[in-house]
């Protein structure tokens, strides 16, 4: 088989190069910051950098403490290699130290994710930590709520709510599984709620600690601008290379596609892939023979557009139909592939917001008779108990019923994608407005590739970026409209995205929009 089942990955978004946002020029008193940590860096040096990033300022951490509804709170996310640091009480106590008058109590959520995003490296992850400060009730709802039931079939996770996407009216939530830390600290996952008390002249003291399996993290996205009516908007970025044109699904059930329509005639679902993948690899070998992406296997993803979404988004489907396919860019290497990926990402984001889904191809190809050319897609579209989903899906299929969660429905459209070769030189960010500064933290949730861990060194051992909070997962992310809200075309957003370099992000209002009294 020429394609593989791929794992997800997270990436980061940048509004300006990190070199212009490091400690030499950073805005003091940030309520969020991320620190990239190189090898052999001491905890003390990390603490010093964290204190510089969170030093008091009228619009910084001190404001977050004043506005906090109840005891102050903090979120500390670390990459997998730093998981043992979260067991060091002295390190956490020093990291949580608040300059000036500390609150009497600090509530903390600490967790380990696969990687930390970084602004000037949208195709990579960093070893490091990402910290967010805020009020307990608003930022970490139900942190000390009822005990969570241990359900082995549901992987521990964190969920971050986001504002509506551009050109859409409904909010969304992004959920990512926690990292597997068995080989780092002996635990299958690492996430704790802890309570710390402060006394004048003494370090913070740990008074309570419990394990968590799930937690909602709500960054303050209101900003400080009270005069502007401009609302915050989120972006989805999924830079994938289209290798076929959209095809209408003729026959399929559940997560299995049997036939698609090509030139008005039914054809095996895997037929085009069996021809395109070898041609793609040959073209890559000719243009970049030393690139690891020129040999198989490669991961393949399918964008499935339900019939109702295709009809409602009449302006987007023609753009996909006119868009590039594998034969259009001629295997021109990283720049050509990346350009096609950038172009398709903009349209894909709009279709995902309308109810389309991006699903990984699990298996398929070959066969004969009725089994010829079958393709199996990942059936999971929501972050829920898999056993319950399987039972519900079986009952519906037995009764001949369909559901909005069904992956394959005849009449829908499907288009296949692969990860593009990354250009050797830096490329501009995807679908991201350039902004000189933010009034609230830039928040990023995305996917990453475990193979990238540790490949990106950090100059001088430690780098800091303020107004930046995020997490990456190598197992994919789940994006959904909360409480069954629907998008602008009447379909609810619900998809699992485990393709490399995908992300959801939100930007703050430019600082020049603030009123003078808040400066």
Structural contact between residues 496 and 379, judged by C-beta atoms closer than 8 angstroms: no
Query: Which is more confidently placed, 209 or 10?
Result: 209
Q: What is the pLDDT at residue 39?
A: 81
Lowest mean pLDDT among 186-190, 303-307, 315-319: 315-319
**CA proximity to 478, closest of 200, 168, 38, 159:** 159
309 in the same domain as 337: yes
Alpha-carbon distance 285 to 360, whole Å? 24
Last residue of a domain, one of 358, 388, 418: 418
pLDDT of residue 294: 55
Indicate the pLDDT class of residue 226, thresholds 50, 70 and 90. very low
Looking at the chain, the whole-number percentage of residues with pLDDT higher than 90 is: 34
pLDDT at 509 over 60: no
Q: What pLDDT does residue 233 have? A: 81
Domain boundary among 418, 439, 474: 418
Strand-strand pairing, 157-162 and 105-112: unpaired
Average pLDDT score over residue span 454-465 = 69
Q: What is the pLDDT of residue 266?
A: 94
Residue 392 has what pLDDT? 59
* 359 and 289 assigned to the same domain: yes
Indicate whether 221 and 246 sit together in one domain: no
Q: Is residue 185 part of a domain?
A: yes
386 located within any domain: yes
Number of domains the chain contains: 2
115 within a domain of the structure (yes/no)? yes
pLDDT number for residue 343 = 82
Q: Are strands 72-78 and 105-112 parallel, antiparallel or unpaired?
A: parallel
Tell me, what's the pLDDT at 45? 92
| Residue 471 confidence (pLDDT) | 96
- 163 and 48 in one domain? yes
pLDDT for the residue numbered 504: 93
pLDDT in tens, 418-454: 988 876 544 444 444 444 445 455 899 999 886 555 5
Mean pLDDT of 103-132: 88
Residue 423 within a domain: no
Higher local confidence (pLDDT), 193 or 481: 193
Residue ranges making up the domain that contains 254: 241-418
Given this model, what pLDDT does residue 273 score? 92
Q: Is residue 425 part of a domain?
A: no
354 shares a domain with 287: yes
pLDDT above 80 for 151? no
Residue 247 and residue 225 in one domain? no
Least trusted range by pLDDT, from 8-17, 177-186, 492-501: 8-17
Give domain status of residue 149, yes or no: no
CA dist 202 and 463 (Å) reads 29
* Same structural domain, 199 and 329: no
Residue-wise pLDDT for 390-405, tens only, equals 565 555 555 555 555 5
Check residue 63 and give its pLDDT: 43
Residue 68 near residue 134, CB atoms below 8 Å: yes
Q: Kindly state whether residues 132 and 273 are assigned to the same domain.
A: no
Is the residue at 54 inside a domain? yes
Question: Residues 90, 184: one domain?
Answer: yes
pLDDT tens, position by position, 121-136: 666 678 999 999 999 9
Three-state secondary structure call for residue 171: coil
Q: Using the predicted structure, report yes or no on whether residue 188 has a pLDDT greater than 70.
A: yes
- Would residue 148 count as lying in a domain? no
Residue 435 pLDDT: 42
Across the chain, mean pLDDT equals: 75
Please report, rounded to a whole number, the percentage of residues in the chain having pLDDT higher than 70. 64
Which pLDDT does position 292 carry in this prediction? 54
- The secondary structure of 67-87, three-state, reads HCCCCEEEEEEECHHHHHHHH
Which residues are registered as beta bridge partners of 3?
Answer: 298
Is 374 in the same domain as 477? Answer: no
Do 362 and 438 lie in a common domain? no
Q: What pLDDT, in 10s, does the model give residues 52-105? A: 887 654 333 444 444 444 458 999 999 999 999 999 999 999 998 866 667 889
CB under 8 Å, gap of 24 or more: what pairs does 321-326 form?
A: 321/245, 321/246, 323/242, 323/245, 323/347, 324/242, 325/242, 325/243, 325/244, 325/245, 326/241, 326/242, 326/243, 326/244, 326/276, 326/279, 326/280, 326/283
- Both 127 and 109 in a single domain? yes
Q: Residue 183 pLDDT > 90, yes or no?
A: yes
Among 375, 395, 418, where does a domain finish?
Answer: 418
């Amino acid at each position: 088989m020429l394609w593989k089942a791929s794992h997800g990955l997270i990436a980061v978004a940048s509004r300006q190069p990190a070199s212009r946002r490091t400690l030499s020029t950073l805005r003091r008193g940030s309520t969020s910051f991320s620190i990239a940590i190189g090898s052999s860096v001491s905890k003390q040096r990390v603490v010093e950098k964290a204190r510089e990033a969170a030093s008091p300022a009228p619009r910084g951490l001190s404001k977050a403490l004043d506005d906090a509804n109840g005891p102050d709170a903090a979120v500390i996310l670390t990459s997998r290699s730093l998981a043992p640091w979260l067991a060091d009480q002295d390190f956490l106590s020093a990291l949580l130290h608040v300059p000036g008058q500390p609150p009497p109590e600090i509530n903390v959520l600490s967790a380990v994710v696969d990687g930390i995003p970084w602004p000037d490296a949208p195709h990579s992850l960093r070893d490091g930590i990402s910290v967010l400060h805020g009020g307990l009730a608003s930022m970490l709802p139900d942190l000390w709520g009822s005990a969570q039931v241990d359900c082995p079939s549901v992987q521990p996770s964190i969920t971050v709510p986001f504002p509506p996407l551009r050109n859409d009216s409904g909010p969304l939530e992004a959920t990512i599984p926690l990292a597997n830390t068995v080989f780092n600290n002996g635990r299958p996952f690492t996430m704790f709620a802890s309570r710390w008390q402060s006394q004048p002249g003494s370090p913070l003291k740990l008074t309570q600690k419990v394990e968590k399996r799930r937690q909602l993290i709500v960054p303050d996205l209101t900003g400080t601008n009270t005069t502007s009516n401009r609302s915050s908007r989120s972006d989805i970025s999924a830079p994938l290379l289209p290798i076929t044109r959209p095809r209408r699904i003729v026959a399929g059930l559940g997560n299995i596609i049997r036939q698609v329509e090509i030139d008005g005639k039914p054809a095996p679902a895997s037929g085009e892939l069996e021809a395109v993948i070898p041609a793609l690899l040959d073209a890559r070998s000719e243009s970049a023979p030393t690139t690891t992406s020129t040999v198989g296997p490669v991961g393949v993803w399918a964008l499935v557009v339900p019939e109702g979404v295709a009809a409602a988004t009449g302006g987007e489907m023609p753009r996909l139909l006119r868009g590039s396919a594998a034969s259009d860019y001629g295997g021109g290497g990283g720049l050509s592939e990346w350009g096609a990926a950038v172009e398709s990402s903009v349209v894909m984001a709009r279709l995902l917001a309308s109810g389309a889904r991006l699903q990984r191809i699990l298996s398929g190809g070959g066969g004969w008779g009725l089994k010829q050319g079958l393709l199996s897609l990942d059936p999971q579209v929501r972050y829920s108990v898999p056993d319950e989903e399987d039972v519900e899906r079986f009952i519906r299929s037995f009764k001949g019923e369909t559901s909005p969660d069904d992956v394959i429905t005849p009449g829908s459209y499907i288009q296949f994608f692969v990860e593009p070769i990354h250009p050797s030189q830096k490329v501009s960010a995807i679908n991201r407005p350039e902004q000189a500064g933010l009034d609230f933290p830039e928040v990023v949730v995305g996917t990453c590739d475990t193979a990238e861990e540790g490949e990106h060194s950090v100059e001088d051992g430690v780098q800091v970026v303020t107004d930046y909070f995020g997490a990456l997962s190598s197992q994919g992310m789940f994006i959904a409209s909360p409480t069954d809200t629907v998008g602008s075309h009447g379909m609810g957003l619900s998809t699992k995205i485990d393709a490399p370099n995908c992300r959801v992000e939100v930007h703050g209002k430019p600082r020049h929009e603030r009123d003078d009294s808040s400066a």
